[in-house]
Amino acid sequence: MRTPELPGLGPIASLMLAAVLTAWLGVAGPIGGQTLYDFAKEWQTLIAALVALAAAVLALWPVWRQVRVQSAQAAMQLLPVLAEEADAIDHDRQFLYWSTELQTRLETTVAAAEPDETILHRTKERLNDLRQIALTQSDEPDAPPAQLNFGLRQERHRLKAGIYRERDAILPSTHSLDPIPTYPNFTPSAGFIKQTRDLLRDLAYRAAQLAHLNQELRATIARSESSLQQRTDAAHRAILGAS
């Protein structure tokens, strides 16, 4: 049979306390002119209240211990969920970093690919002037390049080289654009300029879409962090309440 014990005392300490009280009651006799029986009779109301309080503590002690155990178990079960949420948020942060980096590169590409309208217009005017010079110095409107003098041919080649440089400055890769024609007196076609502008608009549209996705992702991460913080605080409160 298990020896009853008081809260906070072991079985040996409880037996020693009971032995001292028994000795005071029956063996030790009067202490200060008053036995334990007289003391108990005088303070019976207070003693009854203390006994009832002790009984309530003894009755609630197992329940309290069970509540502590259940709280600790609930906190332990919540830890994997918190770890999973932390991993998900870390993955979202990495995705946000790379998407932001991609957006920055797209914006840089769009800014670098913006065509210089002044240079294009001036080059087109010079090519038109060259055509007019060639036509005025030729008897036939469609004179072949061999009938042009050397200076005009040099000027034509120089201007064509400038067009190539302008094209390469507009976009790093121009395989999707119309090729530069090789016939004499070339002028930039409206289709070439339109394709370039369409590609730039497409890049700008994709950059705007990516910026919108970044905003939505930031909002999602903020909501996840708020939810994780609330769950963490609840777990901490449960652990502190169980301790």
Residue 123: count of CB within 10 angstroms of its CB: 19
Tell me the β-bridge partners of 31.
34
pTM higher than 0.85: no
Let me know whether 199 and 231 are in one domain: yes
Length of the chain measured in residues: 243
87: in domain? no
Q: Which position has the token pair 């050397």?
A: 150
- DSSP H or E run through 36: helix 36-42
Q: Which of 162, 116, 156, 163 is nearest to 133 (CA)?
A: 156
Domain boundary among 56, 79, 102: 79
Let me know whether 117 and 236 are in one domain: yes
* 73-99 exposure pattern, b = at least 16 Cβ within 10 A, e = fewer: eebeebeeeeeebeeebeebeeebeee
Angle between helices 190-242 and 44-113 (to 10 degrees): 170
106: in domain? yes
Question: What domain count does the chain have?
Answer: 2
95-102: long-range contacts (C-beta < 8 A, 24 or more apart)? 95/217, 96/214, 96/217, 96/218, 96/221, 99/210, 99/213, 99/214, 99/217, 100/214, 102/210
Per-residue pLDDT, averaged over 213-229, amounts to: 68
85: in domain? no
192: in domain? yes
Give the pLDDT band of residue 53 (cuts 50, 70, 90): confident
pLDDT at res. 221? 66
What are the tens digits of pLDDT across the range 113-137?
555 566 666 666 666 666 666 555 5
pLDDT at res. 153? 56
